Structure 1
Amino acid sequence: MIRPRTVTDGQVTEVVRATLETRPKSATRWSARSTAAHAGSSQTTVSKICRAFGLKPHRSESWFTTAFDAVFADNGTAAIPTPPQSPRTNAFAERWIRTARTECTDRLLITGERHVRTVLTTYAEHYNAGWPHRSLDLRAPDDDPNGVPLPAATVGRKQVLGGLLNEYHAMSPRVPHHPQETSSSAA
């Protein structure tokens, strides 16, 4: 026997709207308890509605809350949220940040905002032009995709960020320099 529905459409609408469109006043994200108090429902009802609609308010990314948006706006930085249900987008960003930290900023003593901007700009240029990527068959993103790498007899090294990073590139083979021998007429 099927039990009659006890949750009204208004309750469902309020829980879904509150979870997706608003933030609680005294917290950074909704919990079952705070949503239930806001919607006038029980915690069990809120949990059932969230489960039915696939809502996970307790797992929303709250590292940077809406309070930070104002800080970013004052700084002139646009906050661009990652699209929902796209874990790869976030993975690419996290991978770049981890690489920049481990390869660059963790090894330097940053002295200010201007210094960190200079270091990260230089590192981004190195990452896109001089760093081989496995997914690109050991080419840098800025490399010509139609170019054929030739074996080099000599490898050149360019130091980046004062020797913290090294970029290697193929150089044309050097022609050995032999002074021409003069023939002597004394013999």
Structure 2
Amino acid sequence: MNETLAEADIKTVPIGIRMPHMNSIMERWVQSCRHELLDRCLLWNERHLRYALREYEHFYNQRRAYQGLNQAAPLRPSRTRSKTLTASPT
């Protein structure tokens, strides 16, 4: 398997010993990328694919809403936090 990847100039990086959740994190990212990007785009060549993946990565990390952050993006404050900060004390 590693020989096949090496022929395609793909470097394998083993995960850490005490990181069992890393595989599930990558599986979730790949699944999100497929459903939100690749299933909805017509890609013309490798250059276009790389551009689309860079744009999706930027969107995924900086603008996409996350349930764990109360539907806020990582760089955007959550709705409940902004309401509590602006609400007057009663």
- Note if contact 2:2-2:12 (Cα within 8 Å) is conserved in structure 1: no
Aligned residue pairs, count: 81
Structure richer in helix, relative to its length: 2
Structure 2 residue 22 is matched with structure 1 residue 86: no
| CA distances 1:135-169 after superposition (whole Å, capped 9, x unpaired) | 22222223368xx536xxxxxxxxxxxxxxxxxxx
In the alignment, the residues of structure 2 paired with residue 140 and residue 97 of structure 1 have an alpha-carbon distance, to the nearest angstrom, of 19
Q: How does 1:32-43 map to 2 (within 5 A)?
A: none
Show CA shifts across 1:46-70 (max 9, x none). Answer: xxxxxxxxxxxxxxxxxxx221342
Indicate yes or no: 2:70 matched with 1:137: yes
State which of 84, 89, 96 in structure 1 corresponds to 2:29.
96
Counterpart in the other structure of 2:82: 149
- TM (norm. structure 1) is 0.38
TM-score by length of 2: 0.72
Structure 1: segments with no counterpart, 5+ residues? 1-64, 151-187
Q: Secondary structure at the match of 2:21?
A: helix
CA distance in 1, matches of 2:55, 2:82: 25
Cα offset, 1:109, TM superposition:
1.4
The answer to whether structure 1 residue 120 and structure 2 residue 53 are counterparts is: yes
Q: Which has the larger radius of gyration?
A: 1
Which structure 2 segments of 5+ residues have no match?
84-90
Indicate the residue corresponding to 1:110 in structure 2: 43
Give the equivalent residue in structure 2 for 1:156. Answer: none
By how many angstroms is 1:113 displaced? 0.7
**CA–CA distance in structure 1, aligned partners of residues 43 and 61 of structure 2:** 22
Higher strand share: 1
Residue 39 of structure 2 aligns to a residue whose secondary structure is helix
The alpha carbon displacement at 1:104 in A equals 0.6
Q: Deviations over 1:95-126 (max 9, x none)?
A: 00100000111111111110111111111111
Structure 1 84/69 Cα, relative in aligned 2: closer, same or farther at 3 Å? farther
Provide the C-alpha distance between the structure 2 equivalents of 1:86 and 1:126, rounded to a whole number of angstroms. 26
Q: 2:87 corresponds to which residue?
A: none
